[in-house]
Amino acid sequence: MQHPIVSVIILNYNGRRTLGKILDNCLQSVLETDYPAFEVIFVDNASTDDSVKHIQHVFGQNQKMRIIINAKNYGFAEGNNIGIRNSKGKYIALLNSDTKVHPNWLKELVNAIDSEKIGAVQSKLLRMDAPDFLDCAGGFVDYYGYHFERGHGEKASNYDQSSEVFYAKGAGMLLKKDVLRKTGLFDADTFLYFDEVDLCWRIWLSGYKVAYVPKSIVYHALASTTSELQAKMRVYFYTRNHLMMLLKNYSLANLFKAVVVSILFETRNIFLFLARKKPQVSAAKIQALLWNLFNFDRIWQKRGFVQKYVRTISDQEVRKIMMAPCPPFPLYLVFSRYRFLKRRK
């Protein structure tokens, strides 16, 4: 039996300083994967620590290992794109550098993605410090594009059934390269946050599905790769990329309402953070909204590609895998979404 080649891409930025032995454990576990045909592409995003030197010394002699050193920090999206462009595999596996994999993780993902209808799959992401509990069992968005990681913090045994999800989390996912040729890669402008949500939205629009594979186990150290980012920077990218994603992927019939609700919701948050004496967070949200305004032509060109070359199904079909807004509009603008989501779970 021939096994398709899989390119496993691990993106790194100052992993030696922020992760320590976790980075070594990640690479060691991946190289011990029980799958006969894979390569490991270690992409370094211009680290300022000794990550590259250390990885070259410890793992550089392994025949499965390739190291790519970027000239600057391109973020999650373009950093992984560089790895994808240099890959040999039929399938692309993405792993965070703060993960550790079960030997069968890749075999289970390949078995699941073999279906013609599936374009991407996600592993069962368990908390590294408490493996009986989940980090994520796939993600969903509501009609306004705000995402929700299914099962976060819950008992892992509650999510032992495979299922369709709206998006696969980039900490442990597998993609078909043929599908990426149709949808395009990650949007390089995102840099961080909503990158995999945006890509999976395009996968759904192209007529393929995204699935959760509980038999594929990956342990995740939870957000340690972004711990150095300042809160205002995280808020900026989150707000900016969320709105850009809506502008690109919705049809005109649904675009206006989704964008208006999003802007109203973020305006409400701007005043809320000001009241909580967090002006820097409010300023970051304002900057994010203005970025979309000043770059509207650029976003609209990307939207043209999605609507003309990617879309094969309607928003109505895509919404079947989304969550209905909870609480419903206009209460959505007043009450905490997370409180309602937790109650609904």
**What is the pLDDT at residue 344?**
44
Token pair in block for residue 234: 């995280």
**What is the pLDDT at residue 56?**
96
Topology annotation, domain 6-226? Spore Coat Polysaccharide Biosynthesis Protein SpsA; Chain A (3.90.550)
Please, which residues have CB within 8 angstroms of residue 108's CB and are 6 or more apart in sequence?
123, 213, 215, 216
Q: What share of the chain is helix, strand, coil (3-state, %, to 5)?
A: 45, 20, 35
Q: Where are the domains of the chain?
A: 6-226, 231-344
**What is the pLDDT at residue 290?**
98
Three-state helix/strand/coil letters over 277-310: CCHHHHHHHHHHHHHHHHCHHHHHHHHHHHHHHH
What's the rounded Cα separation, in Å, for the pair 249 and 310? Answer: 10
Mean pLDDT (10-residue bins), the chain, 345 residues: 93 92 96 97 96 95 96 96 98 97 98 95 97 96 92 96 97 98 97 95 98 98 62 91 98 94 93 92 96 98 98 97 81 61 47
Do 233 and 291 contact (CB within 8 A), yes or no? no
Q: Give the model confidence (pLDDT) of 106-139 as tens digits.
A: 999 999 999 999 999 999 999 999 999 999 999 9
